[in-house]
Amino acid sequence: MDIVISGLLLGGAYALIAMGLTLQYGVARIMNLANGEALVLGALAAFWLYTMQGVSPLATVLLIAPLAFAGSWAVYRALLLPLVRRARDRGRLEVDSILATFGMSFFLVGAMTAIHGEYFTYSFLAEPVRLLGATLALNRVVAFAAAALIGAALWLWLERSRTGMAVRAVAVNPEAAGLVGVDVERASALAFALGGAVTAAGGALVSTFVTLDASVGVLFTMKALIIVIMGGVGDIRGAVLAALILGLVETGVAVLVDPGLTLAAAYLIFLAVLLFRPQGLFGRAGA
């Protein structure tokens, strides 16, 4: 039972990160491999503010989200939009964006290592609570609740607001969205910036119960990518379910077999998805 509950809680945090990536890839068509670094930046901010100023990581979320939004917006406008405009086809854009975001990823890792080269260790709400017969750390529960709140807000905004509808239209078909009067470049920039904000917020939350360092971003990128593909690109519902599955499987493997094999477990899931459901959990074949 412990495994199931902690697995689901971990999955909640993964879901938030994967939502960020699915917005960036599904809408803005940017395969952002620096996504994990946005997460680590959020974690670094939370660690920094908590140990230096005693600011609660939950307050940091409110601070880091707008900052990450602005930063991601600027990155999209200045660095990625030129690639979108020069790309002859989607394949070319994919290669360019992969290489460019690799560059950003390494650059950020180097910069963050220079700022703080050690583990981001701090202790926030590390007290036990009992929940559904399992004993859990309070910080995991709080992080999950915050992630669920942010995720729900994002989903409501996408489903109910006019701008959210424009973003979803671009996800389905950028050309058609442009024909019905959606400003595609603006909607893409918005989705990319929102994705960065959500990911950085997720990083601040994850850092309350996972000890990170400047170089772990790529592992989270990898997991977010696996979740996005498993859930179906651009499908938020699928991403949430996939994140919970990954959280469960990873926790199970870490507890029952060996903590060193969580990445291998993620790969196993990835392989199964590629072989049996490459269109995503809820996707239809050929869609």
Which residues are near another protein by CB under 8 A? 31, 33, 79, 82-83, 91-92, 94-96, 98-100, 102-111, 113-114, 218-219, 221-222, 225-226, 229, 258, 260-261, 263-264, 266-267, 270-271, 274-275, 278
Question: Under a CB-based contact definition with an 8 Å cutoff, are residues 172 and 187 in contact?
Answer: no
Taking the complex as a whole, the smallest distance from the CB of residue 218 to another protein amounts, in Å, to 7
Integer Rg of the chain from CA: 18
Query: CB-wise, 140 or 223, nearer to another protein?
Result: 223
Query: CB-wise, 66 or 82, nearer to another protein?
Result: 82
What are the phi and psi torsion angles at 211 (to 5°)? -85, 120
Query: CB-wise, 72 or 139, nearer to another protein?
Result: 72
Query: CB-wise, 31 or 64, nearer to another protein?
Result: 31
CA 190 to chain CA mean position, Å? 16
Query: CB-wise, 66 or 110, nearer to another protein?
Result: 110
d(C-alpha 107, C-alpha 62), whole Å? 25
Query: CB-wise, 57 or 232, nearer to another protein?
Result: 232
Taking the complex as a whole, the smallest distance from the CB of residue 99 to another protein amounts, in Å, to 5
Taking the complex as a whole, the smallest distance from the CB of residue 187 to another protein amounts, in Å, to 21
Q: How far is CA 56 from CA 53, 64, 125, 146, in A?
A: 9, 12, 10, 13
Taking the complex as a whole, the smallest distance from the CB of residue 252 to another protein amounts, in Å, to 16
d(C-alpha 5, C-alpha 1), whole Å? 6
SS3 for 185?
helix
Q: How far is CA 102 from CA 30, 36, 106, 205, 250, in A?
A: 12, 11, 6, 24, 26
Taking the complex as a whole, the smallest distance from the CB of residue 91 to another protein amounts, in Å, to 7
Give pairs for 62-68: CB < 8 Å, separation 24+.
64/200, 64/201, 64/203, 64/204, 65/197, 65/198, 65/200, 65/201, 66/197, 67/200, 68/38, 68/41, 68/42, 68/196, 68/197, 68/199, 68/200, 68/201
Query: CB-wise, 99 or 126, nearer to another protein?
Result: 99
Query: CB-wise, 45 or 266, nearer to another protein?
Result: 266
Taking the complex as a whole, the smallest distance from the CB of residue 28 to another protein amounts, in Å, to 14
Taking the complex as a whole, the smallest distance from the CB of residue 175 to another protein amounts, in Å, to 18
Tokens of 100: 């460019």
Taking the complex as a whole, the smallest distance from the CB of residue 63 to another protein amounts, in Å, to 26
Question: Under a CB-based contact definition with an 8 Å cutoff, are residues 37 and 195 in contact?
Answer: no
